[in-house]
Amino acid sequence: MRIPAPCRAISVVVASLTVTGVLGSFPKPPAARPAPPLSGKHGAVATEVAECSTIGVDTMKAGGNAADAILASGLCVGVVAAYHSGIGGGGFMLVRYPTSSKKHAYEMIDFRETMPAAGNETMYVTNSTTPQTLSTIGGLAVGVPGELRGWEKLHKRHGRLPWKALFQPAIKLARHGFTVNVDLAAALDSGKSWIPDDPLWAEVYAPNGTLLREGDTAYRKRYAETLELIAEHGADAFYNGRIAVNTAEAAYARGGILTAHDLANYTAIIREPVNITYRNNRIFSTVAPSSGAVVLSALKVFEGYPANFKQSDAEINLSTQRLIEATRFAYGQRTQYGDPAFTSNVTDLEKFYLTPKAVDSVRSQIKDNQTFPLGYYDPTKYTPLEDHGTSHMAVIDGSGMAVSLTTTVNLFWGSQVMTTDGIILNDEMDDFSTPGQTNAFGFLPSPINFIRPFKRPQSSISSSIAEDLLTGEVTIATGSAGGSRIITATMQELHHYIDQGMSPAECTHQARWHDQLSGQTFSPKAATFRCRKGPLRGVKV
């Protein structure tokens, strides 16, 4: 079956630590070839869990659209891959939807977690010389979850099927069990020192006193009851009443400041996406406090170079040098992109860096045979944000409606706090910056990202959708997991797909470089990455 032109391509990137800051080639695919592209005539769904992708497809077969499908799939991912997603977290989504004029419009839904009302910018400052975990483990790390308000906003504006119906597959999985896959088994192993000792966690993941292994069946019965209540009564059931009280109490019991009042006051926000023309496409992406504008800035600079992507060593080395240098300047811009409610003119600034004047200025500072100290790329000399894990998913339906969504609880298992309702709470407050804490290069943390009550921290999420400039049809819906590497993974996905003509499967199969102005390292795990012969242009590996 062939998908109609509006939904012929869809992609999700699962970013992994492969190559960091290496100026070499875009690598050849590993020996194991990627699976051939799939096609269909009604739409496509991409998530990290096969069963959840199937749920999305079944939702569309039942008459649902892309919004319905991603909601049902996303709830499923939150059940199975709870180590980095779920209703205790938040994120961003980019929505492409049909209008009455037979065209399509775009909007961004910001459902990022917020700092509780009692937060302050020195709450994680200590005099201890030992590593601190206040912002990563325990109640003080928990931000106000936004995912359900995000789902609610999407469904009210664009959904077709009943809210309650979309919860049923996830409820069934949580109640009747799901198979522990290799990723969940690895995540459980990372928590082996504490999961079996916590009764709420052990009830799910170590029911016999030992951690579940790959192939075992996991049950989340408390979570199933919670989802059932939300399915019946809407997102308000989470943000008000018993669940809200239980959530606040769980955070408080572990030293937190989250209150039921914080939950009741949370809102998801509609924002206008940013976009650029790139080659023969128009690419839309998410705005601050996320990082879509960073991706687009680097690509726009790169677009100004000749579009010659032959696979000779010299040409690949040169194009890689230019794209990495453009990325470094884009990361320098990112230190100025904070929560728009607390950062003046951030929207104008994002748009300015995409203007011909700004793009040409950056390109004029890039040298084909040289790289520079970090301050060259970031005049403010602020520390680039390092954030953590996520789950990305994307859906396109037969009408050309598309949703590219990234959700997260931050580090594996979030704050390591589970409520009596089976909800795993995020540790998203670690994404804020703290005064006085310089990084290894002597850069200060950006005041743009200091803590304020109700503020949303910066995020690397860069959910993107591209469409053909001539036909207006979707060409790719993409994004990435992988914390700070989301930006470079999404950028390379778009480059591989648009510039090099790779299929979505081939794009995701490539090893990757990463550079965010925090030094360069090389991972030996990137066995498939091969630097071409030629200069490394001054970069330390």
> pLDDT tens across 349-362, in order?
999 999 999 999 99
Confidence grade of residue 540 (pLDDT, cut at 50, 70, 90): very low
Which among 345, 332, 341 has a CA at the least distance from the CA of 291? Answer: 332
Continuous segment of H or E residues that includes residue 226: helix 221-233
Q: Is 234 annotated as a binding residue?
A: no
From the number of C-beta atoms within 10 Å of its C-beta (0-12, 13-18, 19+), residue 91 rates as buried
Q: Is 431 annotated as a binding residue?
A: yes
pLDDT digits (tens, 9 = 90+) for 366-413: 999 888 877 788 766 565 555 556 799 999 999 999 999 999 999 999
459 Cβ neighbours under 8 A, 6+ residues apart: 91, 92, 112, 289, 290, 291, 387, 431
- Give the C-alpha separation, 55 to 72, whole Å: 7
Rounded Cα distance between 157 and 143, Å, is: 25
345 is in an annotated binding site: no
Q: pLDDT tens-digit profile of 293-315?
A: 999 999 999 999 987 666 677 77
- Check 20, 259, 286, 390 and give the catalytic one: 390
* Residue 460 counted as an annotated binding residue: yes
Nearest Cα neighbor of 398 from 11, 92, 10, 22 is 10
Is residue 418 within 8 Å of residue 82, measured between CB atoms?
Answer: no
Asked if 17 and 519 touch (Cβ cutoff 8 Å), the reply is no
pLDDT digits (tens, 9 = 90+) for 47-98: 999 999 999 999 999 999 999 999 999 999 999 999 999 999 999 999 999 9
Does the annotation mark 390 as catalytic? Answer: yes
Q: Are 389 and 371 in contact (CB under 8 A)?
A: no
Q: Is 430 annotated in some ligand binding site?
A: no
Residue 529 in this model has a pLDDT that exceeds 50: no
Q: Report the pLDDT value the prediction gives residue 434, as an integer from 0 to 100.
A: 85
pLDDT of residue 77: 98
Residue 532 has a pLDDT of 34
Q: How far apart are CA 224 and CA 311, in angstroms?
A: 51
Q: How far apart are CA 112 and CA 457, in angstroms?
A: 8
What local confidence, expressed as pLDDT, does residue 29 receive? 37
Give phi and psi for 113, each to the nearest 5.
-65, 155
Q: What is the mean pLDDT of residues 106-132?
A: 88
For the entire predicted model, the pTM comes to 0.89
- Distance between start and end Cα atoms, the chain: 46
DSSP 228-244: HHHHHH-THHHHSSHHH
List, for residues 127-167, the tens digit of each pLDDT value. Answer: 665 557 899 999 999 999 999 999 999 999 999 999 999 99
